[in-house]
Amino acid sequence: MISKYFNWSDAKIVAFQKALLEWYDREGRQLPWRVDHDPYHVFVSEIMLQQTQVQTVIPYYLDFIASFPTVGELASAPESKLLKAWEGLGYYSRVRNMQKAAQQIMRDYAGQWPTTAAKLQTLTGIGPYTAAAIASIAFNQPIAAIDGNAFRVFARLLKIDLDISKSQTRPVFQAIGDRLISVARPGDFNQAIMDLGTSYLTAKQPDAEHSPVRDFDESLADGTTLAYPVKTKKAKPIDFYYYALAIQSPEGWLFEQRPTKGMLARLWMLPLIDRDDLTTSDPKEVLAELSTLFQQETEIHAEFHEVEMKPVIHTFTHQKWHIQIVQAKLTSTPNLSLFSGKWLSLAAIAEAPLPTVQLKLNQQLFV
């Protein structure tokens, strides 16, 4: 399978490495996690960069390292502090798995990082790409880090027409990447491929003609750059419709903690009621039914009214939430014995670990 797409001579491989690394030395991005080769810094940055753009990650990374400067401090940090530090990055399982991995390092490796990609993959939340990135950058292991950028770069260079959304494709790219990688500078090679994929060989508006490796680019030669990589389109996320209950009492706003498992686990949000749980779609009757459903669950009587706010829309990987805010103001503060919630002041809301979708609700409600 590999020979179908890759038949470069050793001399051509060396020439490719030279062109790529000379460009990287001149123009590689100056990023805060590249100032050293500390495996912890590589680890934090790579986990943050999953599904998040570099410019968004930089301030989060700096704050996170300031709050948890070592793997030991990450391992022992209170979850609430971790979730607050992660607030706005989304996919909160990432930071929970980071802490589990840190705890494994402290418990199973006496605080010392495993130095090979194979051993790094035994840590919670670390897959083949992240393991290869840490192993190559921090420990000089010559193993290619195959992420979206590497898929795109190698697919275009070699006109690889395999569907990158299929699991059986990764081993082919891994084998090719491992053939191409610089043994002397594996970490720089992987980071150069990352930078190439975010500059000259971007997904939608590439500038392959001015790429530092244009002489090796087979898709550029025949004008098929945008045909690669081949990827099956993902299914559209499923729409879900909710009402967010913005209930205010003299002690603050009512928030509830999400369940311990599932989406947004253990984060704090306004109470939500699924539109499908209602028996009516009549706007006037909806408010009354929301009040009834909430009272049945909590024994708290709240009369809701509409607010002139656009629905908040937030897209997860497989779901798209549409949330309409309704509001109620109570003259006294009821007991919460039947409800797993808290009354939070605005100051307390600012300190609580909130998911991104709740931050969007806050922007509508507390402006």
Going by C-alpha positions, the residue among 167, 93, 147, 127 that lies closest to residue 316 is: 93
C-beta atoms surrounding 213 within 10 Å: 22
Single-letter amino acid, residue 129:
Y
Within 8 A by CB and 6+ apart from 338, the residues are: 297, 298, 299
Helix (H, G, I), strand (E, B) or coil at 80: helix
Residue 336 is predicted with a pLDDT of 87
Residue 136 CA to residue 46 CA, distance in Å, equals: 13
Longest CA pairwise span in the chain (Å): 80
Q: What is the pLDDT along the chain (367 residues), one digit of tens a residue?
A: 788 999 999 999 999 999 999 999 999 999 999 999 999 999 999 999 998 899 999 999 999 999 999 999 999 999 999 999 999 998 899 999 999 999 999 999 999 999 999 999 999 999 999 999 999 999 999 999 999 999 999 999 999 999 999 999 999 999 999 999 999 999 999 999 999 999 999 999 999 999 999 999 999 999 999 999 999 988 899 999 999 999 999 999 999 999 988 899 999 999 999 999 999 888 879 999 999 999 998 889 999 998 888 999 999 989 999 999 999 999 999 988 888 899 999 999 999 999 999 999 999 998 7
Residue 335 is predicted with a pLDDT of 85
CB-count exposure of residue 9 (10 Å: 0-12, 13-18, 19+): exposed
Alpha carbon dihedral 73, 76, 77, 82, in 10-degree steps, equals 90
Q: Measure Cα distances from 67 to 34, 85, 155, 348 in Å.
A: 19, 8, 39, 20
Going by C-alpha positions, the residue among 91, 139, 143, 158 that lies closest to residue 314 is: 91
Tell how many helices (H) and how many strands (E) occur in the chain: 16, 8
Residue 183 is predicted with a pLDDT of 98
Taking only Cα atoms into account, the Rg of the chain, rounded to an integer number of angstroms, comes to 25
Residue 213 CA to residue 251 CA, distance in Å, equals: 63
C-beta atoms surrounding 276 within 10 Å: 8
Known catalytic residues? 46
